[in-house]
Chain A
């Protein structure tokens, strides 16, 4: 057995979940939490085709999030195709006795928000879901990764998965973040540094004093975006911040303090080694926005649109030319000159209470000059925000106060950005057509999206936050 001081957080969790290892290096892993959503119907169909049963329904949790309407909750106003998705999830989960928070349930929300919020995701667990942003759950010190429908079906039928251990990448961020710099800025800076596939084949552990200083919600944002550099998962070692966040949540273990003692043994030992190490200085991270059609196309707000003619790499230049054309920009243009048509504040990346508070801090007493939708991450967050009066700030600024769901991040519920429209968005992907056919997406933090709403163009939020929040 390897020494405890030389093991990483990832290796310690992996080892406790390994049922067997084949000579070819494949491990059969035990899965502790399996999250399901409306999109999981293909997997249920695969289970049905084998006339199989769900092996451990008690370890599965389903929540409606991808297709749920986020501008209302009225079945009478809902498209039949959306209602059909709600029905499919309800009947599949009922048939297999899987607990479901459907679109009318008081615990409904985005899975990657609800799992941690309810204390379902815990340190030391393996967490999977048919959704790439399952990397979010690593913020609690778990191994969380996205899988496809065939693997979802495999987990439903066996509560296990065949996996080969990924390589390990430690991203160390030391120093202190500047005022009003958010986890979103940190994550976009990491992705810009690594590239959209720089983390491919790797599990990331985020370390360093700047990461330790992050709140739990900020860590969830950071780990959420791990998949945007291609990584399998992203993790932060559990510590007192993690335990304080979890303490008292409804689904945590009854012997919580005893569990904390076990979780305190999870962090990577001092002699732990990684296949790859990358370091950033937090002080160098500026408010960051994307300009192109890949999350790696991220720059400080003070920068200008890059010039493909000056790029040495032919592939990069071709990508930049295509991206600039699609986005309707010009090389050399200042990012702050880029005008926007709407804002979206929400998604599994940035819809938690701290995100909404920061956006509200910018918007308080100000008016948005473009339309926008604010979609809280869960019904609980929605309630919390209303108790704090944040909903009134958004409404008085002229934005819509919506319901929880994936909403305009992926547009599956019909809330889309129109062709050619430009959206300042707190989401995770600026891919072509991600928010709707022809939509142009700029990714940024909630404060930056709120600032863009007020000015109508990409804006450094920092002066607007001075003396606030």
Chain B
């Protein structure tokens, strides 16, 4: 997995709350394979609206997205994360995220940065007036624009995973002896649970 340390990039404001994963990528595009890419379908139906921020020239090439509360709730579709990444985004800043979306994001090197609602409003406001690049420093949990800075939070385990680019499967396979020991005991103690 690609590591995430710092990022300075154009940030696109998406001043909406409750952007669920059905909005991020509608269900009818989920039969595509990862090799075919999902970027073209990011916010497919929302993009049809006039003045959708991501369609504006000022935010072309954006790698950061700033949204309101409960971003990525709903369906567990990991394609929502694939669509954001394939489009070129590496970080979403919002006051809160759907749990499954956030886990999927971290597993793919996309940073879900939780900022205070007031700070998100301040960032959205700044982005309305100019498209200055935004910097995100994961080690310091800091978001900054020229002359201004805000903090953000992320679970420390997830922060470390993103910083190191850890892969869970490799980590788990290194624990195979412990898993085997658990299985041997579990088959005896909870035989009823096995098929």
Binding site for B on A (CB under 8 A): 16, 19-20, 24-26, 28, 30, 32, 39, 41-42, 45, 50, 52, 58-59, 67, 81, 84-85, 120, 122, 124-125, 130-132, 146-151, 153-154, 157-160, 162, 164, 166, 196-197, 200-201, 227, 230, 232, 251, 253, 255, 258-259, 262, 293-294, 315, 318-319, 322, 410-412, 429, 431-434, 437
Contact = CB atoms under 8 A, between A and B. Distances in A.
B2 interface: no
Contacts of A227: 74
Interface stretch (B29-37, B55-63, B83-91, B130-138): B29-37
Nearest to A253: B192
Contact of A160 (B20, B75, B179): B179
B172 A160 contact: yes
Given A39-B30, A151-B104, A319-B17, 13 more contacts: A30-B179, A42-B79, A50-B169, A148-B100, A150-B108, A154-B169, A160-B172, A196-B18, A197-B96, A200-B99, A201-B99, A251-B195, A318-B17
Nearest to B160: A24
Contact of A196 (B34, B70, B103, B191): B70
B77 to A, nearest CB: 7
Contacts of B191: 253
A16 B68 CA distance: 38
Nearest to A149: B78
B53 interface: no
| Chain B contact patch, size range | 35 or more
Nearest to A259: B192
A124 B175 CA distance: 24
Contacts of A412: 27-28, 30-31
Nearest to A436: B28
A150 B169 CA distance: 9
B76 A84 contact: no
Nearest to B186: A30
B151 interface: no
A200 B169 contact: no
Interface of B: 16-18, 20, 22-23, 26-28, 30-31, 33-34, 45, 68-70, 73-79, 81, 96, 98-100, 103-104, 107-108, 155-157, 160, 168-169, 171-173, 175, 178-179, 182-183, 186, 190-195
A232 B99 CA distance: 7
Nearest to A231: B99
A411 B26 CA distance: 10
A315 to B, nearest CB: 6
Max chain B Cβ within 10 angstroms of own Cβ: one of A197, A227, A437: A197
A89 to B, nearest CB: 11
Contact of B169 (A67, A147, A157, A315): A157
B184 to A, nearest CB: 12
A294 B98 CA distance: 14
Given A319-B17, A319-B18, A84 B81 contact: no
Given A148-B104, A150-B107, A28 B172 contact: yes
Contacts of A147: 76, 100, 103
B173 A158 contact: yes
